[in-house]
Structure 1
Amino acid sequence: MTAVPVTPAGALAAGRPAHRDANVLRWLAAYTASMVGDNIYYLALSWVAVRAGSPAQAGAVMAVSALPRALLMLGGGVVADRFGPRRVVIGSDAVRCAAVLAVAGLLYFADPGLWPLVLLALVFGTVDAVFVPAVGALPARVTSRDQLARVQGMRGLAIRFASVAGAPLGGLGIALGGPAAAFGLAGLLIAVSVPLLLRLRVRDLPPRETADAARTTAWRDLVAGLRHIRRHRVLAPLILAIAFGDLGFVGPLNVGLTLLADERGWGASGMGWVLAGFGTGAGTASLLLAARGRLPHAGHVAAYAILAGSAAIGALAYVPDVVAAVGVAVLIGLLAGLSGALCGALLQTQAEAACLGRVTAVSSLVSLGLTPLSMPLFAAAVGAWGTGPVFVASATVCGLGGVVALAARDLRRAELP
């Protein structure tokens, strides 16, 4: 196993803003390349699944990765903390790259049907269970604590760029070379992250924490991480606030927007404009945090942003036309992007460095493992009661996150370094 380049705590670009730190920029380039590859992969997977099977089979292929990701996520947080997030991210990207390129080669030479897609989705879901916690834990090891809010903004910009660039690149790959070319492009972009991560310098943990990790079992590590969250006066309510926010947000902005556009006759183009408005708002929030580096009264701002964003989600179902919907979507994106980045920065600055993988795993389990289960329930509820009441109900659930943040004194008063 290759040695990990480590740096004593406090020695990583002291006093240098994250956007001028070559180490952080290497991390950002690696993360962006990996995320663009992910977006191309999901587009290619859905395209091939629809062409190779029925709509129900295609839906099953797209959903099959969710189960191992949900089941193994907490264990993935333990792995990230025990072996180090940098090492885990490198290994995860290498496995994902190999799997995608293998399917690309198979599709180039044959028409194998759905079985390789199911296997690929299972591999991705399993690897994601360790990849996601490690990705969340890595920023705190590549920069100083006072730069983590800025890094969250930079990460948000990378996510927005990946979502905007991934779909056109995937579509271009399919148009020029078929699904094999799209999968190949996704694999190559994921591969770009590996050499960048190999050059990344990481902050090592204090010797006491490293020695403690070597003496404990994986199960004890997991229990210790959950205990750390439960006893922490900021982390416990923060994760609960994130959970409520995500549960109320996912349905309206994923399933609900499609149903709303169909009901109002906005068409695919209208829905695209609304999504573009949301992306613009979220990107603006990320740019604001990346530029400023810190917002005062982070706990208060996050709580009020969640509450205002939830009200905007409820209002989206009652706008008179697509122009108004775009305006509301910009507001939702701005508020959701701001609250999400601040909650992420608070999570990283409040958790102990040795527990950050497990803390990220718990928050990601709610966001990526449980909230997708709400989408079919949301669609069924719209069919029974209509878009307006269900959007308002979801907005109420989302708003509970803001209520939790305001009710918890230590979270409400939390500040970024």
Structure 2
Amino acid sequence: MRADWSLLRDPQFSRLFFARTASMGGSSFAPVALAFGVLHLPGGTSETLSYVLTAESVPMVAFLLFGGVIADRFPRQRVMMVGEFLSATAFTALGLLLLLGDPSLWELCVAAAFSGVGIATMMPALTGIIPEVLKPTQLQSGNALLALGANTARIAGLVFAGWIVAVVGGAWALIGAGALFATSGLIISGLRGLADRRGDSGSTLGDLKRGWREFSSRQWIWVVVLQFSMLVLLFQACFGVLGPVLADTEMGGATPWAWVLAGDAVGMVLGVLIAMRIRPSRPILVGVLLTALATPTFLALGLGAPLWIVVLLAVVMGMAFDIFGVLWNTTMQSLVPAEALSRVAAYDAFGSLMFGPIGLLLAGHAVVWWGARPSMIGAALLMLVTVVLALLSPEVRRLRAPSVPPQVVEAAG
């Protein structure tokens, strides 16, 4: 355990750690602040919230592949800085729009779209920069520590976001999120000694084709990405629209919903502590099985369980998904060539997120057609179906954890 924590003494890794922590703090303010800020506008409805969140999600998905290309072609540090500053600008603008008056729907959608582009720029670069900072033997511990900092910030952000929304409104929480994104960008600017370029400087289309070959040649990657394309659709519907609507109409508002999200974040912290220590021989199989633990949380919400039960189940869900995330990132960083890693990560994110906007759009209408509770129950059951389908893949069931060559272990030691 001491060896894991000693990574924070490395100046490069500690900068990446604190930048990622600040960025996640900003991200954690946004769901609560934006959801209740929009719902409390004059005439704000679940459908209005769906449109704003979709306006953020569509550009994010559309820009992801290009984000992967530029992160493999240009210094990943600078690409991450651009993404963080774009997000800072977008969330500050959203906060000011809510603070200064009654914004139109198109104004909110334009500001939200910039945040989507910022996220798409940053995500593939983050996956690719970690192996530049860490040795192969440090990847799982480093991924776990980054997740620990991010999830700790997420807990604090969610609790403070609920309090700020309740006391002074969502606008100030969004402005605070913008400040945290800007802080992350400034911290990243201090990284030194990383590679300036990777791979060749061919056409964007050629880069995308080479990235696609790396992605599609690995069954375990594309099968799990397909699973997550449906999981994210359902998560977007539940976390983005169905959950806030239930909280606003039946659970007492922003504060109870913030506690549900915070329970998920607490579970992620616990999951990180577990992920630091475990080394399953079949990491993808273990990870996919763990995703089944999403179903009980949303079933409990749909069935009207007491808040403390929902929060407890959210802790278990967060723990499961963070263990999955550490195992997934470590396996991909170990088995995918470094020069194509950001592009493969972009295809991973693109495939996982591509149906997210559909989930957001459908959720607002599902509330009108069937009601929030039946829609939540249906989404929970569909999550379980995705797990069963993913387990049909032989590579998902059989892929062994990558081994580090003896000479690499010796060098790292």
TM-score (norm 2): 0.78
Structure-2 residue corresponding to 1:34: 23
How do 1:153-172 and structure 2 match up within 5 A?
153-170=144-161
Q: Which of the numbers 135, 140, 149 marks the counterpart of 1:149? A: 140
How do 1:106-185 and structure 2 match up within 5 A?
111=101, 113-114=103-104, 116-170=107-161, 181-185=172-176
Distance 1:86 1:410, change over 3 A: farther
Q: Is the 8 A contact 1:280 1:333 kept in 2?
A: yes
Q: Which of the numbers 371, 374, 398 marks the counterpart of 2:386? A: 398
Distance 1:343 1:245, change over 3 A: farther
Distance 1:106 1:58, change over 3 A: closer
Asked if residue 298 in structure 1 is aligned to residue 288 in structure 2, the reply is no
Shift of 1:276: 4.1
Q: Which amino acid aligns with 2:395?
A: A
Shift of 1:357: 1.4
For 2:314 and 2:190, the matched residues in 1 are separated by 39
> Secondary structure at 1:29's aligned position in 2?
helix
- Segments of structure 2 that go 5 or more residues without pairing to the other structure are 405-413
Q: Which amino acid aligns with 2:20?
A: Y
Q: How many residues align?
A: 394
For 2:74 and 2:185, the matched residues in 1 are separated by 17
Structure-2 residue corresponding to 1:283: 269
Asked if residue 334 in structure 1 is aligned to residue 319 in structure 2, the reply is yes
Q: Which amino acid aligns with 2:139?
A: L
How do 1:191-270 and structure 2 match up within 5 A?
191-201=182-192, 203-204=194-195, 210=198, 212-214=199-201, 216-243=202-229, 245-247=231-233, 250-251=236-237
CA offsets per residue over residues 208-245 of structure 1, 9 Å max, x none?
x94x512x111100011001111235433443454455
Q: Which amino acid aligns with 1:152?
A: N
Shift of 1:90: 1.2
Q: Is the 8 A contact 1:345 1:416 kept in 2?
A: no
Structure-2 residue corresponding to 1:7: none
Percent of residue pairs identical:
24
Q: Which amino acid aligns with 1:36?
A: G
- Segments of structure 1 that go 5 or more residues without pairing to the other structure are 1-13
Moved more, 296-305 or 72-81: 296-305
For 1:375 and 1:196, the matched residues in 2 are separated by 33
What RMSD in Å do the two structures reach over aligned CA positions? 3.9
Moved more, 72-81 or 377-386: 377-386
CA offsets per residue over residues 181-224 of structure 1, 9 Å max, x none?
5454333322222332122135538xxx94x512x111100011
For 2:384 and 2:232, the matched residues in 1 are separated by 12
For 1:343 and 1:194, the matched residues in 2 are separated by 26
Q: Which of the numbers 338, 348, 354 marks the counterpart of 1:363? A: 348
Shift of 1:86: 1.2
Shift of 1:351: 1.6
For 1:246 and 1:70, the matched residues in 2 are separated by 12
Moved more, 153-162 or 242-251: 242-251
For 2:179 and 2:228, the matched residues in 1 are separated by 33
> Secondary structure at 1:386's aligned position in 2?
helix
Shift of 1:27: 0.3
Distance 1:262 1:69, change over 3 A: closer
Q: Which amino acid aligns with 2:29?
A: I
For 1:323 and 1:105, the matched residues in 2 are separated by 35
Structure-2 residue corresponding to 1:187: 178
Distance 1:402 1:329, change over 3 A: farther
Asked if residue 413 in structure 1 is aligned to residue 400 in structure 2, the reply is yes
Shift of 1:275: 4.1
Q: Which amino acid aligns with 1:357?
A: S
For 1:273 and 1:41, the matched residues in 2 are separated by 15
Distance 1:106 1:392, change over 3 A: closer
How do 1:31-110 and structure 2 match up within 5 A?
31-41=20-30, 43-46=32-35, 48-50=37-39, 52-55=41-44, 56-101=47-92
Q: Is the 8 A contact 1:285 1:338 kept in 2?
A: yes
